[in-house]
A = this chain, B = another copy of it.
Amino acid sequence: MRRPTIADIARQAGVSKGAVSYALNGQPGVSEATRARILAIADEIGWRPNIAARALNGARAHAVGLALCRPARFLGVEPFFMELISGIEAELSARSYALLLQVVGDHETEMGVYRRWWGEGRVDGAILVDLHLDDPRVPEIEEMGMPVVVIGHPSAAGSLLPVWADDGAAVRETVEYLAALGHRRIARVAGLPRLVHTVIRDRAFTDVCAGLGLDVCPTVHTDYTGEEGARATRRLLSSPDRPTAIVYDNDIMAVAGLSVAQEMRLDVPADLSIVAWDDSPLCQVVRPPLTVLARDIPAYGGHAAQRLLSLIDGADTRHLEDEPPRLTTRGSTAPPA
């Protein structure tokens, strides 16, 4: 009932452990006949390499880590992470790497997790998400020496390898499109203000609005939840010079905003245009379907995983700029009435 080891194979094949090791790893040192015999026996008795024993010899752990720092109730909200994970996964499993996942409550715990994983030799590297301004995690990880890919803008990644998309360009495209439709008062319901990508989107939004000479372009920060999205929308739509278009930082807030608008007897898109960030089935089932900034999130995760594996292999890797989100117009945007 015990797991078979190379010693078992060696005994059956009538050779030494060393020969078996050479044979199983495709290394020179055994004849082809012996190699074939050993492989056949290994296959027959169902031998699997014990990764612990391999790792002990300084080999790879063949796993990478991802610690998500989000309260549990926010996690389910956005499809983003699940899609990102499945993209990471696809790439990792193709190379027989495993993904170690942990959901934590705060960044200190997150760093503790990374420290433990790295210290215990559980992972060969990790993926860092949700960069903050002046994120203390970056210098700490640099000091640890663990290979890490950062999903976020290079400006905040320090010496870590960034994988990113140009959110600023997406914001510009969106605002220019809305302005071309005739909108002069555009608002933005943004996410957490300290996240780097929020800052980048904020700045791009302000810049492009100023460049186009638009009247008012308020930005309201939220925590990404539907409730806050609804509240922000209600406040914006209640103001005297209410916007004719609102750009949301995720899909759940956009849907909440849509409901608020309909509650207030505003017609979407006649009275209010809505744009959501990240496409999801959700955006297509509501009426009207939402115009979105769509990105291929699984591909994004896949690229991050690829980069990380290259980094672990010591390959020469430079930062990767992914495609910016594409504006996909649906029924929720139109010229203002």
Contact = CB atoms under 8 A, between A and B. Distances in A.
A93 interface: yes
A101 B103 contact: no
Interface residues of A, number: 65
A50 B48 CA distance: 21
Interface string A21-54: 0000000000000000000000000101111111
Contact of A76 (B83, B119, B227): B83
Contacts of A255: 282, 285-286
A298 B229 CA distance: 24
Q: Could you say how many copies of this chain the assembly holds?
A: 2
A56 B52 contact: yes
Give chain A's interface secondary structure class: helix
Interface stretch (A84-92, A183-191, A322-330): A84-92
Interface of A: 1, 3, 46, 48-56, 61, 63, 72, 75-77, 79-83, 85-87, 89-90, 93, 96, 98-104, 113, 116-117, 119-122, 145, 225-227, 229-230, 252, 255-256, 259, 262-263, 280-282, 284-287, 297-298
Nearest to A56: B52
A46 B119 contact: yes
A90 B116 contact: no
A229 B286 CA distance: 12
A284 B252 CA distance: 11
A280 to B, nearest CB: 6
A220 to B, nearest CB: 16
Nearest to A255: B285
B282 A259 contact: no
A76 B280 contact: yes
Contact of A101 (B1, B76, B99, B122): B99
B51 A53 contact: no
